Amino acid sequence: MSKSRSSAVLISGVVFLLLGITWLLRRLDIDIQLPDWVLSWQMFLILLGAILSSNSEKKSSGLILMGLGSLFLALDLLNISYEFWRLLWPILLIALGLSMLIKYFRPKSIGQAESLRGPLNCTAILSGVKKAPTMEVFEGGDFTCIMGGVEVSLLATRLNNGTAVIEVYNLMGGIKIMVPASWSVRFDTQNILGGAEEKRRNPGISADPNQVLVLKGLNLMGGIEVISY
């Protein structure tokens, strides 16, 4: 499991756990003394920023969201009157400018092109990712999708050792994978209020039981689709 995926899983898992416990206690009429800001929209921005910050490619966006949430939360806690809509657009322009400057001055790493060896990692958090790797051999991967979309074509690859595993963490997102018709597909995912299915576009080609793509992990309120061509 990649570092960004494990961090996203940890943060979102803690958030869902706390929200579930709070909701359950309220349904049981158990009075819990929680400050109003705990379940506020400002805290939602801060938590969303924390999830984004776990991905190095979106760290600047995450920090900006955390900063915005913290700013508006501080204004409320300090009882500083403000008109939200009058402040929103100037702050968004400032955030956009900061994001562009951070991206411009960030050191460019060498070798950002898709690696021809090793596992394929995809992370889509409130965004979309499309990849069509040209690696000769597909060795599995790690897909993290949180309220976003991942689309990957593996039609130009092959399975070397007969089996490849893709670990998925899909939270209210959509994952679409295109594979050769000769591959067999097996789902070992935990689907909670979500679905995972395979669609075969070329039924004339039989799937090889010795060439297996396995998808395993958590699919929560999302969709996973594997299309065989």
Distance CA 131, CA 120 (A): 10
pLDDT at 1: 60
**SS3 assignment, position 205:** coil
Beta pairing class for 174-179 and 223-228: parallel
Q: Is the pLDDT of residue 115 over 60?
A: no
Identify the helix (H) or strand (E) that includes residue 64.
Answer: helix 59-77
Q: Is the pLDDT of residue 111 over 60?
A: no
pLDDT-above-90 percentage for the chain? 28
Q: What is the phi/psi pair of residue 46, to 5°?
A: -65, -45
Identify the helix (H) or strand (E) that includes residue 163.
Answer: strand 163-171
**pLDDT tens digit sequence for 5-32:** 666 677 777 777 877 888 788 778 887 7
Nearest to 208 by CA among 189, 228, 188: 228
Distance CA 36, CA 42 (A): 11
